[in-house]
């Protein structure tokens, strides 16, 4: 097998689109599940079918998040640039989640919605820390590349 | 371009750097795998090796140590294929002392290629890594996860076995 054939066979894990797609699946699934779960938990009275629909939506979100985790840990690695892009996506996603949970908390004013805000803020802080670390790691690699004449 | 620079560029996410890295190292990996398990499975195992390399590259902390890391992965892939053969107990390897073996000087590349496939896996492996892939004793030790002294003794034993085997086959000593 020559190198070109090999690169062709490895195109999946090497594709930027597939790596970022997995990040989007993880963040979208997790954020969606948390937000819908919060709406579900803070709604005072719902008919049975609506409970079922919320449950299905939360399960779908968690399934996508689980797929994203599995794909990123087992199938497609994140290189330095991918990590920075993924971290920015996480910052945006958790920012939206925080804004959404704050809106729910203001409207409902229950302890569950306050807890939802705390979870969202925690995730947002985590995303910012990940972004800072990813940028630092990429900068270190770029410095090393420069030292090596690249 | 050095391996370290190529690896750093790969870790940054430059796809073309990975193509270059594969261009440089595919033949040595394929040759190692072919000599260890034969040509019929070499393509599959080499592909497994590169897949593991892609997945592991972001976590490689010492880009300058790419070669031993690569052969460690290749060795693991080969070992997975040869698990049954690897299960046999190794006799007296750790106790065997490294010594100046008069047979050492007899081994050259042509003899190696002739008799290699007849040797047991462990002996074949150490000869391939040291003589054909030109890894240092320290790198062989890292790849095989054994002390340098054991590499020396295993090399010595492998050369002796190869010499005996070639002698049996009628090659001049």
Instruction: Return per-residue pLDDT of chain B as tens, 173 residues.
Output: 688 999 999 999 998 899 999 999 999 999 999 888 888 888 889 999 999 999 999 999 999 999 999 999 999 998 888 775 555 555 444 434 444 454 555 555 666 666 787 888 888 889 889 988 889 999 999 999 899 999 999 999 988 888 888 887 776 55
- Between A9, A13, A82, which is nearest B13 by CB? A82
Residue A90 has pLDDT above 70, yes or no: yes
Gap between the Cα atoms of A62 and B29, Å rounded: 40
Looking at every residue in chain A, the average pLDDT score rounds to 92
- Between B8, B12, B54, which is nearest A81 by CB? B12
The span from the first CA to the last CA of chain A, in angstroms, equals 29
Q: Are A80 and B58 in contact (CB under 8 A)?
A: yes
State pLDDT tens for residues A36-64: 999 999 887 888 899 999 999 999 999 99
Contacts of A83 in chain B (CB under 8 A): 58
- Between B5, B46, B58, which is nearest A148 by CB? B5
Gap between the Cα atoms of A93 and A30, Å rounded: 10
Contacts of A3 in chain B (CB under 8 A): 19, 22-23, 26
Q: Does any CB of chain B come closer than 8 Å to the CB of residue A82?
A: yes
* pLDDT at res. B102: 47
* pLDDT at res. B106: 52
With bands split at pLDDT 50, 70 and 90, how would you rate the model's confidence at A103? very high
- pTM for the full predicted model: 0.77
* pLDDT at res. A129: 98
Residue A31 has pLDDT above 70, yes or no: yes
* pLDDT at res. B128: 87
Q: Does any CB of chain B come closer than 8 Å to the CB of residue A9?
A: yes
The two structure tokens encoding residue B132: 């054909």
Please calculate the CA angle A10-A14-A16 and round it to the nearest 5 degrees.
150
Contacts of B30 in chain A (CB under 8 A): 1
* pLDDT at res. B92: 40
With bands split at pLDDT 50, 70 and 90, how would you rate the model's confidence at A68? very high
**How high is the ipTM of this complex?**
0.83
- CB-based contact A13 B5, cutoff 8 Å: no
Q: How many beta carbons lie within 10 A of that of residue A45, not counting itself?
A: 5
Q: Does any CB of chain B come closer than 8 Å to the CB of residue A148?
A: yes
């Amino acid at each position: 097998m020559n190198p070109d054939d090999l690169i062709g066979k490895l195109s999946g894990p090497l594709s930027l689109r597939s790596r970022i797609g997995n990040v989007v699946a993880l963040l979208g699934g997790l954020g969606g599940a948390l937000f819908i779960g919060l709406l579900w938990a803070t709604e005072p009275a719902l008919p049975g079918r609506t409970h079922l629909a919320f449950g299905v939506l939360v399960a779908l979100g968690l399934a996508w998040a689980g797929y994203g985790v599995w794909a990123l840990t087992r199938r497609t690695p994140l290189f330095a640039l991918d990590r920075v892009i993924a971290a920015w996506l996480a910052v945006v996603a958790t920012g939206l989640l925080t804004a959404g949970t704050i809106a729910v908390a203001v409207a409902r004013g229950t302890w569950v919605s306050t807890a939802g805000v705390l979870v969202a803020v925690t995730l947002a802080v985590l995303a910012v820390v990940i972004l800072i670390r990813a940028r630092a790691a990429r900068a270190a690699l770029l410095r090393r590349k420069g030292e090596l004449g690249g | 371009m050095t391996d370290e620079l190529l690896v750093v560029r790969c870790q940054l996410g430059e796809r073309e750097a990975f193509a270059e890295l594969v261009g440089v190292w595919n033949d040595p990996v394929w040759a190692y795998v072919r000599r260890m398990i034969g040509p019929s499975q070499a393509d599959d195992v080499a592909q497994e090796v590169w897949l593991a390399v892609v997945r592991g590259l972001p976590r490689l902390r010492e880009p300058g140590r790419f070669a031993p890391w690569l052969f460690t992965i290749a060795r693991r892939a080969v070992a997975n294929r040869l698990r049954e053969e690897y299960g046999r107990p190794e006799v007296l390897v750790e106790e065997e002392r490294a010594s100046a073996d008069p047979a050492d000087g007899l081994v050259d590349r042509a003899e190696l290629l002739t008799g290699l496939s007849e040797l047991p896996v462990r002996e074949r492996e150490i000869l391939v890594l040291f003589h054909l892939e030109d890894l240092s004793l320290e790198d062989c030790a890292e790849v095989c996860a054994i002390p340098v002294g054991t590499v020396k003794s295993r090399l010595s034993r492998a050369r002796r076995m190869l010499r005996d085997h070639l002698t049996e086959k009628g090659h001049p000593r």
